Structure 1
Amino acid sequence: MKRLVVLGAGESGVGTAILGKKEGFDVFVSDKGTITDQYKEVLRNFEIEWEEQQHTEIKILNADIVMKSPGIPDKVALIAKLNKKGTPVVSEIEFAAKYTAAQIVGITGSNGKTTTTMLTHYVLQHGGLEVNMAGNIGDSFAKQVAENDAPFYVLELSSFQLDGIKDFAPHIAVLTNITPDHLDRYEYQFENYIASKFRIAMNQNENDYFIYDADDTVITEYLKQHPIRSKLLPFSLTKKVENGAYLEKESITIIIDNNKVIMPTTNLALKGNHNVKNAMAAATVSQLLKIRKATIRECLENFHGVEHRLENVLKINNVQYINDSKATNVNATFYALDAMKSATVWIVGGVDKGNDYTELYSLVNEKVKAIICLGVDNSKIINAFGNCVDNIIETQSMKEAVNMAYKIAERNENVLLSPACASFDLFKNYEERGRQFKEAVREL
């Protein structure tokens, strides 16, 4: 009996353990932290051995295969020992893909991947395909393969998940964009992070497809230096493409093998140029998978987006409050500010991941009337924008930040929470940060 060791008992870890058990592995789950009661219950039900608050090496180093949670860096001593022994250390995505015959759509990118994943799933589902959604969203891919496998999957994939693949190859890969993010995990080398994102295409062949943003010079330059085997389907807001999607006179045109779909962007439910790109990517996937044109159009007009991503919360005294808590890097915030049509009070800050704020200067000059800092250490934000905005205020809680914004914002203006940073200094995660924002707005 082969031994599967799972490091990390979160959603992906427990899902992998369930699938491993079903496929006849001897499974052991080990978590350096505490395991939640909910997951302990699942492990007990499946009679899977587990430990918490430690990694017992003798029980781990005898593994035939190890699945490590995406949160565990490769540099950890235990991982180094496993690598030295030649034990395969893989991600949940790699492990689970071996046990399904499904066609997989894999979506990655620094920003836009959640919206694109949910939008693609929405269109495919309405188009009549039996399709599951997993990866960074909802129930883990492994758990779904074990308990309710489907002929199609749309997977949202982070660079960490892609770092742990060996043979995984999605039939359709989408790369939304690449901007500096998580550089702390990549030796602060942007090229390491870029290479990590492109792993999504490394096992693809001539019968597979690669959909990407042709306006993103990081992507186009990398493709010139490192050609890939799959069929290229670019999308662009600025230039016509032969195969792929482009914007012309307020309409999206998608061409695949002389098949043409045209749809107006004026009716898109999601506003902003970045959402035109997300719509292009989702529509291109849908077109490849033979969804009817009318269904694609209808879905793009009805899909209202993702919680915590440019989510309109309330209008109070004609001031629009917008929750963009999911913006955990500068580029995501760039899109949010770019989508603002009137003067904006901007709530920003948190744990900085090596941010370079210079690309926001022109937008901040043009659109932001006041900045409200929400973080334990705000010095970098104050230094960055001190010359752009006269009014910069420091706050220590969401309630305080929203109350300050309420005092400053006037009729027909916006209050935008778009932190450009991780949330871990004051909140558990970006969801909690977004929920607190919404609660504070509702209490005004």
Structure 2
Amino acid sequence: MKSPDIEIGLLEPEAPAVKDPATPVIHDYDGQVPDFTGPEIDRVHDHLVPSLRNYRIADEVPGASTFVVREQGRITDIFLYRREGRVVTVLSEFIRIDADSVRRFAQHVFATYPGVGKIVYRKANAGAMAGELPRVLPYPYASVPVTEDIVVSLPDSIDAYHGRLGKNMRRNIKRYHATLGEKFPSYTYDVYLADRIAESDLRDIIALNRTRMAGKRIVSRIDEDETRWIVSMAKQCGIVGVARIDGKVCAGAIGFRIRDNYFMHVIAHDPAYNDYSLGILCYYFTICEGIKRGGRHFHLMSGRYEYKFRLGGELRDISRLELYRNRLHWLLDGRHLARQALQNRVRDARLWLLEAERRDDRMSLAAASVMQRLREAKRNGWKALLARPSKG
């Protein structure tokens, strides 16, 4: 799936529309994060990434400011931002934004801070403005997709979810689960929440992730700092599935819950059980647990892997949006915009190659072969890329 090109608009700012002063009401807590911020961010955005507990653990709250909009006394928009020199950066990522929220914040920032020439949303869900940015944004801007959030919308029952899966996926889940039970009678899969989660289980699952990555000659992104973050978050809002054989952790899934939304963070299994699709089973049974507990969405997060779509995931693009006070500020940032455009082209090519692996035409098969060679080179050393098959 090709990502959109970098999108640029050069409209000059319009005068702010005159609105009823009673609604909406803007509160800008400069350099402050009030006590009500955490629960309200969870309520308004329903997402793990902008959750205040996430930012507190990552130590990004000191020095942050809070932008709040109230309508008829109720908070309808809230997020963290930081002002550094001529740039205001929205710290809260994966938040849903629309034309009204972006215009309102930009008008407030440019009117309140004359020295600011640029506003950056690092990662935002701008789906509500898809294809309409030139019409709805009264400022010069640049927008480019940078990642994705793949989301499973959860039905009311496990049976309904199971029936929504494709025939092959249903058959494979049944077959692999039954085979595990037959060959390994001690096999169990249990799900734990928050304070019932054992740190030892978390560390065992993370160790499996590192082992699996090492087998691909990839260094796991989960270092000790990340591990401590996972343990802390899991104790507050975790959902963890653990597969055991003979009492030993052989696979697991680590996720988190924000209200009625679930978020997968780590999934791993022992390579000794590759033949049993333990990873898919972990996904499936953890999603089912979310359904049992009344969840509305299960976020499989970034990574456009085919199995995520076979599990019912739908793609939501996450974009970087940059707004400029006027054309002069846009022009002065030209080198950065050119570099960003190049990075987007590279991302387009990578996504095309990933999509090509799922098609059957001749060019796509050739692209899939290239992807396979690149993976082998990454795992076995780049000399493998130049190797020629021996003549036998």
Structure number with the higher strand fraction is: 2
Normalising by structure 1, what TM-score?
0.27
Higher CA-based Rg: 2
TM-score normalised by structure 2 residue count: 0.30
Q: Which has the higher helix share?
A: 2
Could you say which structure has the greater relative contact order, defined with CA pairs below 8 angstroms and 6 or more residues apart?
Answer: 2
